[in-house]
Amino acid sequence: MAWSQLRRWAGRGGSGPQWLLLVLMCMAAGLWSVRTGTDANWDLRNYHLYGPYALLNGRIGQDIAPAQQQSFFNPLVNFYYYGLFRGLNGFPRVLAFLMGVPAGVYAFALWQVALLVARDVMGRGRAALALAAAATLLGMTGAGVRPSIGSSMADVNVAALVMLAVWLALRAAYAGGRPRTGAMVLLGLLAGASVGLKLTNVLYAAPLGLLVLGLFGLRAAVPAGIAMGIAFLAGWGPFALIMRELHASPVFPLYNDIFASPDYLPVRLTDDRFLPRSTMQAVFYPFYWTVRNTGLVTELGMRDWRVAAGYLSAVLVLAAAASRWLLEEPPRIARPALLLFLFCAGALALWTHMFGIYRYLLVVESLSGVLMMLAGRELFRERRLRLGAAYGLAAAAILVSTRAPNWPHVRHGRQAVGVEMPAMAPDSMVLLVGDDALSYLVPFMPPGIRAIGLRNNLVREGEEHGLIRRIRAAIAGHRGPLLMLAENGRDRGVQAAYLAGFGMRIGPCAPVRSNLEPGGYELCRLER
């Protein structure tokens, strides 16, 4: 293919079909997902499969906390995976391919952002295309994005909405003039939907609003903000109403120190394992995971320089812009690019304060390569050849040094989720005992059974609250068989002592086999 033709196909505004580039990126992401194997991560086994199943089959309120605390999370974001599971469970490679496709949309939006900034830095030509391609490759191979491709965690899926919103804002800004109201409404809908689907994306919503306000003023920010609110309520509101009806709290069991649901303790449930341990660490947090670590910002080992490189780039560019402003010199950096730094800085600050879980930061991780372009221009001025060479070396060093967490996968088999469940009476009650991820087995049980979680991250030993009282009443009033589901051979003595407090003892057990858990599980009869 001639270079001129490739430029037309890849560059925005050319005569080539942009849809072809999007299709190619989606295919590449799908094939990468197939290559990684069948998804078997803990969240999938705990609530990604169970949540949509429970909502669609009227089990909300019938079951009690089988997916632990996550039983009460909005399952809407997992409907994509659940729909594929329902239709394609017998075709695991096809399912894996389609699970990877949203990452192709994310890559396409990132490419468009990178191309806008690359043309700002290098002008319209081959150098800009090469720089944008390098930034896109860097953004798609980080420790946050790469393991998320094809994962039911859906972080990259909802982040695609954020990246599309960033692209819309920057495209309108670089085009000049007043943006179309329709574009701002679409931007707001994308950003609001990302938060409605996954509340952790709130860390991007406020910086996106400020980005639009800084670029276009109130006349654009108001319709974008209204659209953002509408999309958020559409995604989050219906399930929040269900939680309010059942548990007197729209975010049950979170923030129960505020909403005071009688079904849980008046405390705030937080996961602060990955938050900075000191103010100094918070300020320089991105540099702490430039060395390989486990348990700092993710459960598994990782190392990544991307966010640190973006951090240094921001410091360099913003300091240079401030010094020229003080000297009353014209800035070298365009205002859209300057505000992109502030968007990333705001998102990083909110993430550092609220979460500390690395995979939530993947939009900032992906944009770090774009920020590095702008820092390169400050360092090399108009010497574009040197800028390109330095950028390539830095990108290569980051790529080689990256160590991404390896979320659990298994080899593709006959089914994406294959479970062999012993026969059980349709009026059984199954107690899922322990903090293992067990609720994905519930869809393989007879539809009439009732599933109840015990001794997990929400229903704990030694606590007394509304959920536990509901559980005691449900067990006492049940007239059918009582069964216990637990991971094979784990904590049997502890489980027996715990169940004795509910007036039950463990009887004979039968194995439960699953392709997602080599050790398997046990389904045991309980005797009063």
pLDDT digits (tens, 9 = 90+) for 143-199: 999 999 999 999 999 999 999 999 999 999 999 888 999 999 999 999 999 999 999
Please say if the pLDDT value at position 414 is more than 60.
yes
Residue whose C-alpha is closest to residue 160's, from 148, 173, 172, 170: 148
Supply φ then ψ for residue 526, to 5 degrees: -105, 140
Give the C-alpha separation, 496 to 503, whole Å: 10
Give residue for tokens 């609250």. 465
3-class secondary-structure state, position 278: coil
**Domain spans in the chain, listed from the N-terminal domain onward:** 3-36+74-249+273-401, 419-527
Mean pLDDT of 475-494: 89
The length of the chain, given as a count of residues: 528
Q: Does 506 have pLDDT greater than 60?
A: yes
Q: Are 453 and 437 in contact (CB under 8 A)?
A: no
pLDDT band at 328 (very low <50, low <70, confident <90, very high): low
Q: What is the pLDDT of residue 1?
A: 40
309 and 302 Cβ atoms separated by less than 8 Å: no
CA distance 269 to 456: 14
What distance in Å separates the CA atoms of residue 467 and residue 450, rounded to the nearest whole number? 15
Give the H/E segment covering residue 261.
none
Q: Are strands 505-514 and 419-420 parallel, antiparallel or unpaired?
A: antiparallel
Tell me the C-alpha distance between 452 and 439, whole Å.
9
Whether the per-residue pLDDT at 7 is higher than 60: the answer is: no
Average pLDDT over residues 92-100: 98
Distance CA 312, CA 195 (A): 28
Is the bond into 426 cis (omega within 30 degrees of 0)? no
- pLDDT (mean) for 335-354: 93
> Which of residues 353 and 518 earns the better pLDDT score?
353
What is the rounded CA–CA span in Å between residue 98 and residue 100? 5
Confidence category of residue 6, pLDDT binned at 50, 70, 90: very low
Using alpha carbons only, give the angle 60, 65, 70 rounded to the nearest 5 degrees.
90
Rounded to whole angstroms, what are the CA distances from 341 to 374, 382, 439?
10, 21, 42
Locate tokens 């896109």: which residue?
136
The answer for residues whose C-beta is within 8 angstroms of residue 158's C-beta and 6 or more apart is 77, 194, 197, 198, 201
φ/ψ (deg, to 5) at 250: -70, -15
According to the model, what pLDDT value does residue 5 have? 44
The tokens for 114 are 């990178």
Residue with tokens 């088999």: 413
DSSP code of residue 334: -
| Residue partners of 523: CB distance under 8 A and separation at least 6 | 421, 422, 424, 430, 483, 484, 485, 509, 510, 511, 512
Structure confidence at residue 331 (pLDDT): 63
- The pLDDT of residue 490 is 72
Under DSSP, is residue 66 helix (H, G, I), strand (E, B) or coil? coil
pLDDT at 116 over 50: yes
Poorest-confidence range of 175-184, 324-333, 416-425, 450-459?
324-333
What's residue 11's pLDDT? 47
Residue 329 has pLDDT above 80, yes or no: no
- Dist. CA 66–CA 64, nearest whole Å: 6
Please provide the average confidence, as pLDDT, over all residues in the chain: 92
| Residue type (1 letter), 274 | F
CA distance 128 to 313: 19
- Is the pLDDT score of 2 beyond 70? no
Does residue 346 surpass a pLDDT of 60?
Answer: yes
49 in Cβ contact with 85 (< 8 Å): yes
**423 close to 398: Cβ distance less than 8 angstroms:** no
The position carrying tokens 């980051």 is: 398
> Rounded CA gap, 100 and 30, in Å?
4
Phi first, then psi, for residue 227 (nearest 5°) are -65, -35
CA 383 to chain centre: 39
CB 266 within 8 Å of CB 254: no
In this predicted structure, the answer to whether residue 207 has a pLDDT above a threshold of 60 is yes
What local confidence, expressed as pLDDT, does residue 137 receive? 97
Check residue 493 and give its pLDDT: 87
381/230: higher pLDDT? 230
Higher pLDDT, 438 or 8: 438
Q: Please report which residue ranges of 123-201 form alpha helices under DSSP H.
A: 126-140, 155-175, 181-197
Amino acid (1-letter code) at residue 71: S
Assess contact for 283 and 293: CB atoms under 8 A. no
283: Cα within 13 Å, side-chain hemisphere: 4
Write out the two tokens for 480: 């059918």
Q: What proportion of the chain, given as a percentage, has pLDDT over 90? A: 80
Token readout for 139 is: 């953004």
DSSP string, 66-133: TTGGGGGS-GGGGHHHHHHHHHHTT-HHHHHHHHHHHHHHHHHHHHHHHHHHHHHHH-SSHHHHHHHH
Note the pLDDT of residue 384. Answer: 79
pLDDT of 332:
67
**Region of poorest pLDDT, from 193-202, 212-221, 489-498:** 489-498
The pLDDT-based confidence of 492 (bands split at 50, 70, 90) is: confident
Tokens matching residue 476: 């006492």
Which whole number is the average pLDDT over 316-334?
Answer: 76
φ and ψ at residue 285, rounded to 5 degrees: -55, -40
Mean pLDDT of 507-518: 94
- Angle between helix 181-197 and helix 202-216 axes, rounded to 10 deg: 170
- Token pair of 496 as six digits: 């027996």
